[in-house]
Amino acid sequence: MKKTIALITGGYSGEAVISYKSAATIEQHVDREKWDCYTIDITPAGWFYVPTAGEKINIDKNDFSLTIDGKKITFDAVLVGLHGTPGEDGKLQGYFDCLNIPYTSCDTATSALTFNKRYTVAVAAFAGMAVAKSLHLFKAGTIEAVEILNTLKLPVFVKPNNGGSSIGMSKVSEAAELQNALDRAFKEDDQVLVEEFIKGREFTIGVFKSKGEIIALPITEIITKNVFFDYEAKYHGASEEITPAKVAEVIAEKVRNAARMAYAIFNCKGIVRIDFIYDEVSDRPFLLEINTVPGQTEASLVPQQVAAMGWTLKQFYTTLIEECLNQ
């Protein structure tokens, strides 16, 4: 008998637009011979299932169920395709835990921790991983730009501490640019991370677990045409993404080992994508951030890496669903 899966999309942040694109890719590649899949749109206005033809049907939040033509539908698992809040920061994961519904992403604690970039690098550093020197700022705080420049060396990256898709992120090379960059980041979040620039090659790698084994996907090298790998570079083609990366095996193995180590340290589940800068001077990868709901759009990196591994997306999503059902 086929299991019933809810594919969640939408969200309460500006990343919802990417969620819908990711969900479209996932929906296209879910194995319908194995799973009955319902796409659930989670929005500030409500949670809905939208049939191909027909009006929106409300989700009963008491037990995350649907009623269609008098028949109640419950879900065996949730396939997470929702970027930003509340699907990437642990809020929905806690809700599903209360209902004993398994899901294909990290748990509440890991999702909340990794959604906060500062806490992520702090935990990684505590575990012995290399990370950039940084400052954690709060909108209610009083730190001035000059104090930041006395602590960190230019250039620096200024970015919202929570969230993804590089929205609100800036690279600052001149002192006069810093305040504008802070203002821009604070428009997106009430916490900001200011991080020293590390010169090196930018690599990103998907990692997932299957039958208890942590598997690293082929590495992608990002060569951006912009100042850094920003929203335009990610989603509008202003970057070159080389998958698999053309890199010496000794370097590739260091990146893979660091990625698997991070996956284990943070107790990750499902597919995550981990970003690194490889510093050729110190000959080691520096962890930048962990994305617990990485993009699945046609332009996204994980689908590229899955293809480079020789899998279809149908195989990949089946593996993610089966892994969460067997936990």
Contact status, residue 131 vs residue 287, Cβ threshold 8 Å? yes
pLDDT number for residue 166:
61
Query: In terms of CATH architecture, what is 3-104?
Result: 3-Layer(aba) Sandwich (3.40)
Class of domain 134-196: alpha beta
* Residue 209: both structure tokens together: 């677990």
The per-residue pLDDT string of the chain (327 residues; one tens digit each, 9 = 90 and over) reads 799 999 999 999 988 999 999 999 999 999 999 999 999 999 999 999 988 777 899 999 999 999 998 999 999 999 999 999 999 999 999 999 999 999 999 999 999 999 998 899 999 999 999 999 999 998 877 677 888 888 999 999 898 887 554 678 888 988 888 988 988 888 888 889 899 999 999 999 999 999 989 999 999 999 977 554 444 444 445 678 999 999 999 999 999 999 999 999 999 999 999 999 999 999 999 999 999 999 999 789 999 999 999 999 999 999 999 999 997
pLDDT number for residue 45:
95
* Residue 134: both structure tokens together: 């940084």
Question: What ranges do the domains of the chain cover?
Answer: 3-104, 112-131+198-325, 134-196
| C-alpha span between 36 and 49 (Å, rounded) | 14
| C-alpha span between 201 and 278 (Å, rounded) | 5
pLDDT number for residue 310:
97
Query: In terms of CATH architecture, what is 112-131+198-325?
Result: 2-Layer Sandwich (3.30)
**DSSP string of 44-77, one letter each residue:** TTEEEE--SSS--EE-BTTTTBEEETTEEE--SE
pLDDT number for residue 226:
52
- The angle at the Cα of 2, spanning 208 to 107, to the nearest 5 degrees, equals 35
pLDDT number for residue 249:
97
